[in-house]
Amino acid sequence: MNRIRTLGQGGLGIVSLYQATNGQNYAVKQMLYQWDDNHYERFKREVEIMANLVHKNIVKVINFDVLNNNPWYLMPFYEDGSLRDRLLDLRSKGQVYSVKGASGIIYYLADALRHAHKKGVIHRDLKPENILFNGTEPMLADWGIGKFIHKESKVLTNGGLGTKSYCSPEQWNNGVSDSRSDIYSLGLIYRELLTGSLTGQIQDQRINAIINRMTFMSPADRYRSMDEVMKDISALNEISTTDPMKDFWEGAIIIGAAIGLVYVLAKLLGD
């Protein structure tokens, strides 16, 4: 395969675009600082987590090699960009996601996280940059600080693991996290999709109630599982079909919000 360009770089690795001889594009993540045992263990754990999570909305590992001096893994290349890309594009146009569009994205992500949680894995770093798109479907990526729930799951605050603006309070207060921490972060993203801001006001009281319950400061006050989150999102439109996402996604991928747009624009200009 031929290396085309760098797609992104973080504290753990660098992701590059490669093209196979048949013209197919792939993304390859290589570890940085391979001399650092802590980075190496985190990189191996990321590969282990992703290889064990088989879900249509979780980025899959196609191939990998971590037993060499240049650890790497191969994954599909998603040409449709990240959720952050879409949010920035909408913001430049003074737009936000519709209720159906935002709810559809969150429902898909909640289903992927439900699968991970049932496998005993939490993500711990949910943010728009770590959500890619395969057409209209969001894909969870970057499990670099993901943890197996049954193992030690402490965030090293001095090491800067996680993104503080999206992490749950408990991750930064005492370093301990569980599946409810992912619920908190997903709730913040839900709010951002609808308002363009992590602190924006939502006019729809039903959705506001859901997001408030997802983002309570105390984990004990939040939803207990992603199943509960998905149930309440499905009830927004009184969906009774076996495929609720068809109703959510039909004509509701990205549109400007017609209600409360003036308020949202004021918030965006003030951010």
Which residues form the catalytic set?
Answer: 125
Look at residue 92 and give its three-state secondary structure: helix
Burial class (CB within 10 angstroms; exposed 0-12, middle 13-18, buried 19+) of 212: middle
Which residues, other chains included, contact 67 with Cβ-Cβ below 8 Å and sequence gap of 6+? none
- How many Cα atoms are found within 13 Å in the side-chain-facing hemisphere of 185? 29
Phi, psi angles (nearest 5°) of residue 188? -65, -40
CB of 142 within 8 A of CB of 7?
no
Token couple for 21: 């001889």
Strand order in the sheet with 25-31: 2-9, 13-19, 25-31, 72-76, 63-65
